[in-house]
Amino acid sequence: MQAEVLRIIEGGLTGDKTKVLNYARTLADNLEQSGDVRFAKRIRTTLAGKRFNIATLDGLSSKPVDQESRMEIVDVELVLPEDVDLIFSDFLRAEIDGVVTMRDKRDVLARHGMDAQNYLLLYGPPGCGKTSIARYIAAQTGLPLVTARLDSLVSSLLGSTAKNIRKVFDYAAQQECVLFLDEFDVVAKRRDDENELGELKRVVNSLLQNIDSFGEGSILIAATNHQDLLDPAVWRRFNKVIEVPMPTNGELVAYAQRFIQPYMAVRIKPRLYAALEGLSFSDLNTATKNAFYNATLEGSEDGFSVYHLARETYVLKHHSLDDQDEFIRYLIDAGCTLREINEKSGISMRRIQAVSRSVREEV
């Protein structure tokens, strides 16, 4: 099977699609014969579906660059369905799946004289899944995900930002895709802002013109954490506007059970779920990684404990451990034992017991 992998790499480097396809099929056959049926099926699914064939990105070569910095102003990615697993509320799932279905039904809409416009504006606090939703939609439709890079899109040269916006839309028009404009407020800011120069009006005007002429076969997704900054005219360009709020405690519990439990050395205690309240999905993901890192540094090979995760979620919420009593209280509420707190934190048992007594008295 190593030979097949090497031939696939050679084909990819030389642009020989036939070699890639033939040796990928051979690799799938060999994997199936050796007992790895699941991976073999994944390879065949990737090859068989016209959505995920290796020619998908051919129309998106030669990425546009900023004239001043010469940096590429877009990233391009082909997202597979198995690479995106999200926790949605029922409402959010229905709305997002509706965006996917609308593209599949565009011929039906056209027969009834309706435009199959598929423009989605997502807004809400950071870390709650807006970027992940764009990836999910790209995966479900099989379209390449083209993400505008705001760090290189916004140029210091007068007039270049508007030109870069045009470059992004022209590039996305080469092939049907999901065009994702993150941090949308940077280029879609209100034109009546007294602190902005005339350049802002040119940027927003260029943006509106390009949105209006964007191809029907593609999907446009914009995301912002600062919806109040958006120009009023921008809102009218999107046929679907969805708030992506902070996750509910039930969603955090579902996230923890699906994505965190596999990394823990013990079962998650119900009391820990309450301690997660107020975190975003991104916060919880960060806390999980930090908990795993700390447990590994301590020599654990089985995963992290309730203490590790509770400590990291506390730090994310408070950004310090200065209030020791409050920290101990949080750990106790999360289900940590007094001995565990003492051994892991180094805080004296006398102080931990004092805080524990005060917690019991309050109850």
**Residue pLDDT, tens place only, 11-69:** 777 666 667 777 788 888 888 888 888 888 888 777 765 444 444 566 676 888 877 77
275-295 burial, b at 16+ Cβ within 10 Å, e below that, comes to: bbeebbbbbbebbbebbbebb
Q: Tell me the CATH number at 109.
A: 3.40.50.300
Shared domain check, 187 and 90: yes
Per residue in 186-200, pLDDT tens? Answer: 888 887 766 556 677
Instruction: Quote the mean pLDDT of the chain.
Output: 85
Q: How far is CA 267 from the centre of its chain?
A: 27
Identify whether residues 208 and 107 lie together within a single domain.
Answer: yes
Instruction: Answer whether residue 55 is part of any domain.
Output: no
Do 1 and 95 fall within a single domain? no
pLDDT, one tens digit per residue, over 123-133 is 999 999 999 99
Q: Which of 195, 218, 243 is the last residue of a domain?
A: 243
The residue out of 193, 211, 243 marking a domain boundary is 243
Is 327 found in the same domain as 344? yes
Residue 322 burial by CB count (10 A; 0-12/13-18/19+): exposed, middle or buried?
A: exposed
Characterize the bridge pairing of strands 119-123 and 74-77.
unpaired
Note whether 253 and 229 are same-domain residues.
no
**224 and 79 both lie in a single domain:** yes
Judge if 94 and 238 occupy the same domain: yes
Q: Quick one: pLDDT band at residue 120, thresholds 50, 70, 90?
A: very high
Enclosing H/E stretch for 44: helix 37-48
What pTM, to 2 d.p., does this model score?
0.78
CA-CA distance, 211 to 289, in Å (whole number)?
A: 38
| Same domain for 254 and 235 | no
Average pLDDT of the segment spanning 323-329: 94
Higher per-residue pLDDT: 99 or 10 = 99
Structural domain harbouring 328: 249-362
58, part of any domain: no
Q: Alpha-carbon distance 26 to 286, whole Å?
A: 39
